[in-house]
């Protein structure tokens, strides 16, 4: 499967701590995106990083991409209880079929 895989499956931290989630994938990509989902709701786009980029920042979010290892990480700094959600990586593969493929997600719980 081309699906990205997030690690860990679940993460529980205290408010104010940093949270790091990882995503690994199997084939070459054009870009990788991170989405957030509050319980049972629609996914919301957080950040996109292209295959020729190594790092991007957006507010308290920092994403890195290592194409040689086929992996990405999402760092949320100074976490808040409101960051509690599931986080998914999604990869866009090239070729004749442009398709965004999602991983199974990391459930982040931030305890007040």
Partner 1 sequence: EAQVTQNPRYLITVTGKKLTVTCSQNMNHEYMSWYRQDPGLGLRQIYYSMNVEVTDKGDVPEGYKVSRKEKRNFPLILESPSPNQTSLYFCASSFLLTPSGPGANVLTFGAGSRLTVL
Q: Which residues of 67-98 are buried (b: 16+ CB within 10 A; e: fewer)?
A: eeebbbbbebeebeeebbbbbbbbbbbeeeee
**One of 33, 71, 73, 79 touching partner 1 (CB under 8 A):** 33
Nearer to partner 1, 7 or 15 (CB): 7
Total interface residues for partner 1 by CB under 8 A? 25
- Tell me whether residue 66 is exposed, middle or buried, using C-beta atoms within 10 angstroms of its C-beta: 0 to 12, 13 to 18, 19 or more: exposed
| 40 lies in the site for partner 1, by CB under 8 A | yes
Q: Which parts of 57-96 interact with partner 1 (CB under 8 A)? A: 88, 90, 92, 94
Binding site residues, partner 1, CB under 8 A: 3, 30-31, 33, 35, 40-45, 48, 88, 90, 92, 94, 97-105
């Amino acid at each position: 499967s081309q699906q990205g895989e997030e690690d860990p499956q679940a993460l529980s931290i205290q408010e104010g701590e940093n949270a790091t989630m990882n995503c690994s994938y199997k084939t070459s990509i054009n870009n990788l995106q991170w989405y957030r989902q509050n319980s049972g709701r629609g996914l919301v786009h957080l950040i996109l990083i292209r295959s020729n980029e190594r790092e991007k920042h957006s507010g308290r979010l920092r994403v890195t991409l290592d194409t040689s290892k086929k992996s990405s990480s999402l760092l949320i700094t100074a976490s808040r209880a409101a960051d509690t959600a599931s986080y998914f990586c999604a990869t866009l593969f090239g070729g004749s079929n442009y398709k965004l493929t999602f991983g199974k997600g990391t459930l982040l719980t931030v305890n007040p």
